[in-house]
């Protein structure tokens, strides 16, 4: 019997390509696992009206953790149009399966490391004033994103029901919307809780303490989003009191996009609610070469699902063209979570070595290597 049971979820598009590449490397590392293939993604929405079938949820409950490739998501109108004819006009509503997974399994913490590796031609170099040497700016950031609340909670309406409108009129600022006609009004909510805000802030500070990092930065917008942003800010400040040796500071989401571009090396641990965490983590990824280098982990108390932050890139599906490093770094995060420290260390060292040597590069790095060729080169070093 294998030591681990891994829910294997390639998903859509290039998710299949990078997962195949990753499986090869995990096999080279002699990772002792049984892989349970699970149905998830656009195909199952179109043919079954459910991108996360019940059979997949049941299978996940019998696994150690999940490894996920990529997902295709489209706006509601387009999603309904792509249903097979027998499922159209049945009132089916599309909801992102990965978001649903996060909520169903209470994967409250989304952790997204963004680290520059020497020799990557895509590394951020700044400008002649902020970085006169012209050398790569060393970036090592980790974004902690609250994963189950905020604007990704799925509490939305269109058109706006009269009953919801009346309830919202407890705030007088809501009343003018009626003049526009409620049939023309769409509503997406941003709902956060003290529990959720406190939890993600604690996760960020605990990680900083454990890894010897000296700064945790809150990303919010409390001057405009006064209630939700205000709650997050108060929770952050309260949690920070328990970590006096760590510098706790705050930045508005718009301001951090400028400061990150100007002085990214100044930041270490970043913490944010769901939407802002999603935004700033893509910005961080851009500084280290793009989404082809950006892994992530969805962490709960007893279960976790690991996924790269890139999308499904349908136009490249099956071409084995995309960079598998984000997926391989995601597998490294899984190995860390499973406390397979030696394997995780060897895998990251192999990735760093292939990047610095520059002999094998995918198209985004200016090379011609395929997804599988990149993975093979990394696997060879990981097992040398």
In the chain the domains, ranked by start, together with CATH numbers, are: 1-108+294-384 (3.40.718.10), 124-152+189-287 (3.40.718.10), 155-188 (no CATH)
pLDDT of residue 135: 84
Those residues with Cβ within 8 angstroms of residue 183's Cβ, 6 or more apart along the chain or in another chain: 159, 160
The 3-state DSSP class for residue 98 equals: helix
| pLDDT digit string, tens, across residues 121-144 | 999 988 777 778 878 889 999 999
pLDDT of residue 115: 96
Provide the pairing of β-strand 156-157 with 187-188. Answer: antiparallel
- In eight-state DSSP terms, residue 191 is B
Q: Output the DSSP codes for 246-259.
A: SEEEEEEHHHHHHH
Closest CA to 60 of 36, 87, 34: 36
Planar angle of CA 203, 209, 210, nearest 5 degrees:
85
Count of Cβ atoms closer than 10 Å to residue 292 Cβ:
25
Rounded to 5 degrees, what are φ and ψ at 131?
Answer: -145, 70
Q: Give the pair of three-digit tokens for residue 103.
A: 């909520």
- In eight-state DSSP terms, residue 67 is E
Instruction: Check if the beta carbon of residue 271 is closer than 8 Å to that of residue 238.
Output: no
Cα separation, 369 vs 125, in Å, equals 25
Closest CA to 139 of 119, 120, 124, 127: 124
pTM across the whole model: 0.95
Instruction: Provide the sign of the torsion angle of the four alpha carbons 144, 148, 150, 156, taken in this order.
Output: positive
Provide the pairing of β-strand 269-272 with 140-146. Answer: parallel
Q: Which residues of the chain have pLDDT under 50?
A: none
Torsion of CA 84, 87, 92, 98, to 10 degrees: -40
Count of Cβ atoms closer than 10 Å to residue 257 Cβ:
15
Cα separation, 24 vs 372, in Å, equals 9
Cα separation, 330 vs 348, in Å, equals 10
Instruction: Check if the beta carbon of residue 382 is closer than 8 Å to that of residue 29.
Output: yes
pLDDT of residue 189: 97
């Amino acid at each position: 019997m294998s030591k681990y049971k891994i829910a294997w979820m390639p998903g859509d598009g290039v998710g299949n390509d990078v997962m195949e590449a990753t499986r090869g490397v995990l096999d080279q590392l002699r990772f002792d696992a049984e892989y349970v293939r699970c149905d998830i993604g656009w195909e199952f929405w179109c043919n079954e009206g459910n991108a996360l079938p019940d059979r997949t949820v049941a299978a996940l409950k019998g696994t150690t953790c999940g490894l996920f490739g990529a997902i295709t998501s489209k706006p509601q109108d387009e999603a309904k149009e792509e249903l097979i004819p027998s499922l159209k006009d049945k009132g089916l509503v599309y909801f992102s399966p990965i978001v649903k997974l996060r909520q169903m399994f209470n994967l409250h913490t989304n952790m997204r490391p963004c680290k520059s590796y020497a020799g990557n031609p895509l590394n951020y170099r700044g400008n002649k004033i902020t970085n006169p040497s012209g050398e790569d700016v060393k970036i090592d950031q980790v974004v902690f994103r609250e994963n189950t609340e905020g604007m990704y909670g799925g509490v939305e309406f269109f058109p706006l029901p009269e009953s919801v409108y009346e309830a919202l009129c407890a705030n007088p600022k809501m009343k003018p919307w009626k003049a526009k006609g409620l049939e023309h009004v769409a509503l997406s909510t941003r709902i956060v809780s003290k529990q959720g805000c406190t939890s993600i802030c604690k996760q960020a500070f605990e990680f900083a303490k454990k890894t010897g990092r000296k700064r945790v930065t809150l990303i919010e917008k409390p001057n405009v989003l006064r209630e939700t942003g205000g709650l997050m800010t108060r929770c952050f400040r309260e949690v920070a009191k328990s970590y006096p040796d760590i510098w706790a500071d705050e930045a508005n989401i718009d301001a951090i996009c400028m400061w990150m571009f100007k002085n990214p090396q100044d930041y270490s641990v970043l913490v944010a609610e769901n939407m802002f965490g999603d935004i700033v983590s893509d910005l961080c990824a851009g500084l280290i070469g793009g989404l082809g280098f950006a892994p992530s982990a969805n962490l709960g108390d007893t279960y976790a699902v690991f996924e790269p932050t890139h999308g499904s890139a349908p136009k490249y599906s099956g071409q084995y063209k995309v960079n598998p490093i984000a997926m391989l770094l995601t597998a490294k995060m899984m190995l860390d979570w499973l406390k397979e420290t030696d394997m995780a260390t060897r895998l990251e060292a192999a990735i760093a070595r292939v990047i610095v040597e520059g002999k094998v590069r995918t198209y985004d790095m200016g090379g011609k290597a395929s997804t599988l060729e990149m993975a093979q080169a990394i696997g060879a070093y990981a097992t040398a």
